[in-house]
A and B are shown apart, each in its own frame.
Chain A
Amino acid sequence: DIQMTQSPSSLSASVGDRVTITCRASQSIGSYLNWYQQKPGKAPNLLIYAASNLQSGVPSSFSGSGSGTDFTLTISSLQPEDFATYYCQQSYSLPPTFGGGTKVEIK
């Protein structure tokens, strides 16, 4: 199975900050990398698919980049509604695997 490692596991940031979360795959996965946002008590929500494609309805403040083994999710200007846990997930091969999550908290 492909292992996905996210960093940091948590971070504190202020409204308006630029936030970057990284995800590393244990082997090359091309651009088969997706990002999800999960708020407490809610189901995950797809933000970015295929490394850099914004899912319909997702604010343009979210962006994704990377290929191969190293990927980044960037929030250009953190908004109050962005405080949540973020997960990366590889869809290169079965089983699909997730990173451990990054919790974004209010500073």
Chain B
Amino acid sequence: QVQLVESGGGVVQPGRSLRLSCAASGFNFASYALHWVRQAPGKGLEWVAVVSFDGSNKYYADSVKGRFTISRDNSKRTLFLQMSSLRAEDTALYHCARDQGDGYNRFDSWGQGTLVTVSS
């Protein structure tokens, strides 16, 4: 079955960087777009970024544009999110999510998330 497992979260000071990973299994990884979606504690869902099936197209939420970079390694079946210049408002549980295809922009499988806490 489809499995997405995030890692790399932790406590980080404002202004510092962090790299999240999402290891995938159970499906043809290279055929699907992949997203990051975050959820601040006690709050709703916020889309962060998407990368196309082959890594050629990437889009970001305005709130992270210029600070976060999404990428993927299809040979290792892994999705990444490089986060820099972190702010307190980036504190959230970060989920990777599989697109229902490539560019449908709806999410049919989710990981359990990795928690990022930005605090001094």
A→B interface (CB under 8 Å): 1, 34, 36, 38, 42-46, 49, 55, 87, 89, 91, 94-101
Q: Mark B87-113, 1 if CB is under 8 A from A, else 0.
A: 000000001000010001111101111
**B100 near A98 (CB under 8 angstroms)?**
no
- Interface stretch, picked from B17-25, B42-50, B78-86, is B42-50
The residues of B that contact A38 with a CB separation of less than 8 Å are 45
A34, A45, A95 — which one has the most chain B CB atoms within 10 A of its CB? A95
Which residue of chain A lies nearest to B47 when distances are taken between CB atoms in the complex? Answer: A96
A68 to chain B, nearest CB (A): 18
The total number of A-B Cβ pairs within 8 Å is: 53
Name which residue of chain B comes closest to A56, CB basis.
B108
Q: How far is the CA of A101 from the CA of B46 in the complex (A)?
A: 12
Contact of A98 among B35, B44, B62, B112 (CB under 8 A): B44
Interface residues of B in 29-49 (CB under 8 A from A): 35, 44-47
Q: Is B27 an interface residue (CB 8 A)?
A: no
Verify B113–A98 contact, CB threshold 8 A. no
Measured in the bound complex, the distance between the Cα atoms of B113 and A46 in whole Å is 16
Check if A97 sits within 8 Å of B47, measured CB to CB. Answer: yes
Please, how many angstroms separate the alpha-carbon atoms of A49 and B105 in the complex?
A: 11
Given A96-B47, A100-B44, A46–B107 Cβ distance below 8 Å?
yes
Check if B105 sits within 8 Å of A43, measured CB to CB: no
Contact: A98 with B47, CB < 8 Å? yes
16 contacts between A and B (CB under 8 A): A34-B106, A34-B107, A43-B95, A43-B110, A45-B110, A46-B106, A46-B107, A55-B108, A89-B107, A94-B50, A95-B59, A96-B35, A98-B46, A98-B47, A101-B44, A101-B45
Cβ-based interface call for B61 (8 A): yes
A94 touches B59 (CB 8 A): yes
Residue of B nearest to A42 (CB): B112
User: Is B110 touching A44 in the complex (CB atoms < 8 A)?
Assistant: yes
- Chain A residues contacting B111 (CB-CB under 8 Å) are 43
Q: How far is the CA of A107 from the CA of B113 in the complex (A)?
A: 30
Please tell me if the beta carbons of B45 and A91 are within 8 angstroms of each other in the complex.
no
Contact flag A89-B106 (CB < 8 Å), given A43-B111, A43-B112, A98-B44: yes
